[in-house]
Chains A and B, each alone.
Chain A
């Protein structure tokens, strides 16, 4: 049963011109699809092919191509296989459609991606801040946000030179590598 269903999916998806279909192994499928067609594909997968479990939505910031990659991992409890649907949206303005009406768990992942990458999902029920409630800077998971530079600008390096260290240094010991040399 499950094998037939899997083959059925292969046949169906190979015929569609706008998508790239790649089977990695018997339980993993990768699909590359244009952003306009992704909600329709997910609707097809969920409604007709039993992919009812949205495992995760991952976002990757491809800064050199000026694009965000969104990956929707959906799992079928009947055929025991995972489809990863990849799509790419423009980094500016970074707006995409929510799939909350298809998959309830999408609300969490979309909220998370909005907070960490700044991608806005139209139609998502909740785009409020969740984890970084007191953060006013740029979305931190973007590649152009340098956390080390942020720390150096915001905080001062404190000189830590206690008496016990001075005593050791008086005897010829001490820290051999200064922190700035390591970095």
Chain B
């Protein structure tokens, strides 16, 4: 068309424009996107756009043996995979009425807390990067790698350990593992003051994160917020303490809360949980040598295992919040239905859509990372 023939389409005067934020954006955690409507840099509305990571886990699980799914479930959440295995195994144990040995319970607690430490180090590192500070991210990822080394020694796998099976864990620890874990904890403990002065007491972070993405306790309860994000609004609730599983009843730890409900409070809760996880792991190291016995109870041939018909809803506290599996068996060798309730299915969709409204464009990434949203849990 010749320029003199061009006539612009008349639009009503408006300052609003729409922006596709993600799925390939450094401020977005994983493959996830937002359609935001902006006025200047103020967000008028935000709409989550998921599905870039949909692998159909729930359908896949219906076509595989009970035991095969153990290798599948940790893929649902990459940064924090152990709770997925444990929760799925707990569901099968409840359906079969298996009583797992005490040593296996403590080994599972150990794994869960190691995974929580790794996930929290990852989470606050990511948050730091969204505020322009890349050093905490490098430190966090480097220290997480040391935890992954211990996972490799214990299970053979760095990220996906696939160490749990229904009835317990696959094998016992290598010799001297607890000493090396203890040395790692000493190191991580000594790093916490460094993290404080680099990040958690850094005015750059505090001024950026304060009052960003704030919610009250009423809102958090109404929107289905769980985990550290709920504790950051002042409610002391933890599935480990209030709906205990495994050996958590025998372990002494604090449920940390913060009053603010904003991005700063959520990070401070995670910071305090690093300390609590180290405390739990120290108790495990102290207690585990005195627990003798097998690491798993006898199970039927796993390739021809018909789990009794029934249904169960098991919950664990993952690093992101309440993780639950609804498992239905019709007495066959494969699950009839598995429903995964990832904590991020609330945080990354509804909560983030609501918190983003009224914030500024550059804060969306910060809100997302402060909620520790994990998009694969939404897509499944």
Contacts and interface: CB of A to CB of B under 8 A. Distances in A.
A61 B311 CA distance: 13
Given A56-B326, A58-B339, A108 B350 contact: yes
A71 interface: yes
Given A28-B313, A73-B313, A54 B224 contact: yes
B350 A105 contact: yes
A27 interface: yes
Contacts of B48: 130
Interface string A2-36: 00000000000000000000000001100000000
B379 interface: yes
B59 A107 contact: no
Contacts of A97: none
Given A60-B336, A131-B51, A148-B63, A52 B346 contact: no
A66 interface: no
A55 interface: yes
Contacts of A168: none
B224 A104 contact: yes
Given A56-B339, A133-B51, A147-B56, A80 B326 contact: no
Contacts of A133: 51
A140 B58 CA distance: 10
B313 A131 contact: no
Interface stretch (B177-185, B235-243, B272-280): B235-243
B360 interface: no
B337 interface: yes
Nearest to B218: A52
What's the interface size class on A, roughly?
20 to 34
A89 interface: no
A143 B93 CA distance: 25
23 contacts: A27-B243, A52-B221, A53-B226, A54-B224, A55-B224, A55-B313, A56-B339, A58-B339, A58-B341, A60-B328, A73-B313, A73-B324, A73-B326, A77-B235, A82-B243, A82-B313, A104-B224, A105-B223, A108-B346, A112-B345, A116-B58, A131-B54, A131-B378
Given A54-B224, A147-B63, 16 more contacts: A52-B221, A52-B222, A55-B324, A55-B341, A60-B311, A71-B311, A73-B326, A73-B341, A82-B313, A104-B223, A107-B350, A130-B50, A131-B51, A131-B54, A140-B56, A141-B59
Interface of B: 48, 50-51, 54, 56, 58-59, 63, 221-224, 226, 235, 237, 242-243, 311, 313, 315, 322, 324, 326, 328, 336-337, 339, 341, 345-346, 349-350, 378-379
Interface of A: 27-28, 52-56, 58-61, 71, 73, 77, 80, 82, 84, 103-105, 107-108, 112, 116, 130-133, 140-141, 147-148
